[in-house]
Amino acid sequence: MNISIFGLGYVGCVSIACLAENGHTVTGVDVVAQKIDLINQGKPTIIEKDIDVLLNTNWKKGRISSTQDFKQAVLDTEISIICVGTPSDVNGHLNLNAIYETAEQIGEALKEKDEFHIAIIRSTVLPGTNKKIGEIISERSGKKRNGGFAIVSNPEFLREGSAVNDYYNPPVTVIGTDNEKASKKIVEMYKGINAPFKETNIEIAEFIKYVNNSFHALKVSFANEVGNICKKMNIDSHELMDLFCMDTQLNLSPYYLKPGFAFGGSCLPKDLKAFKTMAHDFYLESPVLNSILDSNENQKNQALSLVLNQNKKKIGILGLSFKKGTDDLRYSPVVELAENLLGKGFSISIYDKNVNVSKLSGTNKAYIDKHIPHLSELISDDLEKVINDSETIIISHNVPEFKDVNLRFPDKHFIDLVKVKDIKPSSNYEGICW
């Protein structure tokens, strides 16, 4: 393929070399003359492992060139990849001027082009940028989106120091577009890349990089706070975290990473509080650890607000224990939610087939007696009765019997805290954070 790359910084330089290595003919475009000159001499614009040999080898083969003539670059290629910078200001807002200027240039060039053209956004941009770029190109070129051109959001996952290896071995190749022809072309362009392809909607493709990098930042800060506490206790923090990373069932896994309701139970709150106390006793600042419980309380308040916004007094709760398949009510966030609603004068009906009040004992019984002492009057083993007796129904367990209850009872309003598997969206259904 003939491909043009706008922006010859980190992502652009790696892309031009790796695409050429895969057999494509690549033209770089940049406003900085020095970068143009370097590429046209077979030299990279960055310092990065393996990039100098890769770029020089393919330049010698005639697969790589560079120019400031954006119009000719677009006219001579079938795909333009946008890799220009998107710096942030002191408040965190992105400066997308370079992105929009590039879109204007591509649109200007397309005025003179009859063939279908694909623009790929590799730069990290805010959701909605793909749509805006499409509007700019359409306005400048006089062509309609998906008529004369298509826009694809294709975020990069390159780390400095291992960017070439990351290019060929990404965790996933994300394609967000509203054009099937463009999607197939991108898959063809990346032939030989060792990664699954994931086609998704444009906004998710635009947003994933922010989620990834914020989580990476969180992991660094979490590990550092653990290390600070370990040092005070004369514990080898690296050996500890090596052990932590061996757990790929829970610690390094998709588990716990699904948006939903607050955590609870007898373990997570207790152990987190103990860990925070250790840091406090050593006079250590641990803002990440300290903020976790605050965030959890915020999610409880979010659920309460959803219920209050309905202005209905009869509330049904499907699932009371802190986790499905158990009768453990200790520190269940659903118990707290029910207690809050009762305190505000709401009428509550509860369904949980695993909770038998007469069989509760020990600390489990003591906890519920303290928070909802008359639970036996509120709980039922009849699902339909609980729903029929309620106006707003809170779903807190992901179990098959709750599937599509919103469709079976269209006159009720359902608030889903767990994203019940395969539940179908409807006008009487909402998720807590979806």
Q: Which residues are catalytic?
A: 267
| 197-200 and 173-177 strand pairing | parallel
Task: State the distance between the two ends of the chain, measured CA to CA, in whole angstroms.
Answer: 40
Would you list the DSSP string of 386-400? HHHT-SEEEE-S--G
Phi and psi at residue 377, to the nearest 5°: -80, -15
| 149-153 and 173-177 strand pairing | antiparallel
Q: How many Å apart are CA 323 and CA 334, to the nearest integer?
A: 10
Cα dihedral 111, 31, 173, 3 sign: positive
Nearest to 214 by CA among 123, 124, 91: 124
Q: 375-405 burial, b for 16+ CB within 10 Å, e for fewer?
A: beebbbeebeebbebbbbbbbbbbbeebeeb
Nearest to 261 by CA among 340, 334, 346: 334
Residue 263 identity (one-letter amino acid): F
- Per-residue DSSP letter, 338: H
263 membership: H or E segment, kind and range: none
Task: Specify which residues 175 forms β-bridges with.
Answer: 199
Q: How many Å apart are CA 239 and CA 243, to the nearest integer?
A: 6
CB-CB neighbours of 323 under 10 Å: 14
Q: How many Å apart are CA 237 and CA 215, to the nearest integer?
A: 20
